[in-house]
């Protein structure tokens, strides 16, 4: 079976674009087979299909098997997970696009779970970025690089949180 | 008690159908099919929405898990859930009755 591996950066607030992209790939005959690493997808090449891809974000894994079973029963194939994101696919066609979330409230809750996880990492970055550097230390340059990287990552997290927060607000207003 | 019950009201359309469906023990997929049938296709519940709703309603004590077989959990309406549902129906009936009256004059 022919496979290709594709690298694509995925931003946490662009999950819907990601779903559309996976659907477009399928329409061109590239079907998601596995999630290799973050941002690395493996596709199986075959006949074009009109599939729908959806991503869920799961935190509480007490009943993971039951969760997957429910999706399976409802016609969703689980393709794997990456950093809490659950990738699902369905070939089910009808007059409406199949959805895993059928109301705005539950969809907003998905993004609230995402935010709750992002917030956990913030104090770590804050600690890294606010720690004073001893300029006489032989590792000063290394610390400085770490601080720069930490600052960059923290900014990214803040941007992600703002974007996701906006998504939640959009879903909550009518 | 009224205060207690009001906390859960009004129910969303989907939640009302979920509560009505679990007057008999049902697992997720069976419930999705039943709701679609009961609502004549007007209400569809996706697995993501249902998974969260089950967890939420169980936490609130409106439904309880009665069976787990082959990774499928079945739920049943509790007494509290029944009270909430009946109050929701009473309020909805008022709304519909009054609405019909108004509609006649429109």
Looking at chain B, the whole-number percentage of residues with pLDDT higher than 70 is 97
First to last CA, chain B: 38
User: What does the pLDDT look like over A37-96, one tens digit per residue?
Assistant: 888 999 999 999 999 999 999 998 889 999 999 999 999 999 999 989 999 999 977 777
φ/ψ bin of A81: left (φ > 0), alpha (ψ from -120 to 50), beta (otherwise): beta
Strand order of the sheet with strand A77-82?
A: A52-57, A85-90, A77-82
Confidence of residue A17 (pLDDT cuts 50, 70, 90): very high
Rounded-to-integer distance, Cα A50 and Cα A48, Å? 7
The interface pTM score, or ipTM, of the predicted complex is 0.90
Look at the alpha carbons of B17, B22, B24, B28 in this order and tell me if their dihedral is positive or negative.
positive
Compute the radius of gyration of chain A from its Cα atoms: 20
Domain ranges of chain B: 2-105
Q: Indicate whether B1 pLDDT > 60.
A: no
Domain B2-105 indexed as CATH 3.40.50.2300: no
User: Do A109 and B70 lie within an 8 Å CB cutoff?
Assistant: no
Compute the radius of gyration of chain B from its Cα atoms: 15
pLDDT: which is higher, A142 or B40: B40
- What number of residues does chain A have? 174
In chain A, residues 18-77 whose CB comes closer than 8 Å to chain B:
54, 56, 60, 63, 65-71, 73-74, 76
Domain ranges of chain A: 3-90, 104-172
User: Do B73 and A67 lie within an 8 Å CB cutoff?
Assistant: no
User: Do B47 and A69 lie within an 8 Å CB cutoff?
Assistant: no
> A18 near A165, Cβ under 8 Å?
no
pTM score of the predicted model:
0.90
CA B56 vs CA A114, B20, B79: distances in Å = 18, 16, 16
């Amino acid at each position: 079976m022919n496979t290709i591996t594709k690298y694509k950066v995925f931003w946490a607030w662009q999950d819907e674009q990601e779903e559309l992209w996976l659907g477009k790939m399928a329409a061109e005959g590239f079907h998601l087979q596995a999630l290799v690493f973050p941002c690395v997808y493996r596709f199986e090449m075959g006949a074009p299909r009109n599939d729908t891809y959806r991503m869920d974000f799961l935190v509480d894994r007490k009943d993971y098997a039951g969760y997957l079973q429910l999706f399976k029963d409802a016609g969703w194939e689980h393709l794997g997970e990456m950093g809490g994101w659950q990738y699902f696919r369905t070939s089910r066609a009808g007059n409406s696009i199949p959805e895993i979330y059928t109301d705005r409230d539950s969809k907003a809750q998905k993004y609230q779970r995402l935010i709750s996880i992002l917030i956990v990492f913030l104090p770590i970055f804050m600690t890294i970025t606010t720690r004073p550097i001893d300029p006489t230390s032989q590792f000063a340059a290394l610390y400085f690089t770490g601080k720069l990287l930490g600052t960059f990552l923290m900014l990214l997290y803040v941007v992600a949180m703002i974007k996701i927060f906006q998504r939640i607000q959009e879903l909550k207003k009518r | 008690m009224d205060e207690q019950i009001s906390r859960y009201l009004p129910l969303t359309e989907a939640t009302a159908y979920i509560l009505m469906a679990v007057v008999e023990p049902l697992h997720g997929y069976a419930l999705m099919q039943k709701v679609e049938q009961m609502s004549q296709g007007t209400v569809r519940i996706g697995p993501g929405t249902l998974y969260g709703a089950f967890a939420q309603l169980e936490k609130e004590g409106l439904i309880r898990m009665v069976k787990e077989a082959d990774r499928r959990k079945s739920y049943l309406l509790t007494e509290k859930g029944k009270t909430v549902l009946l109050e929701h129906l009473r309020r909805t009936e008022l709304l519909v009755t009054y609405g019909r009256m108004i509609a006649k004059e429109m």
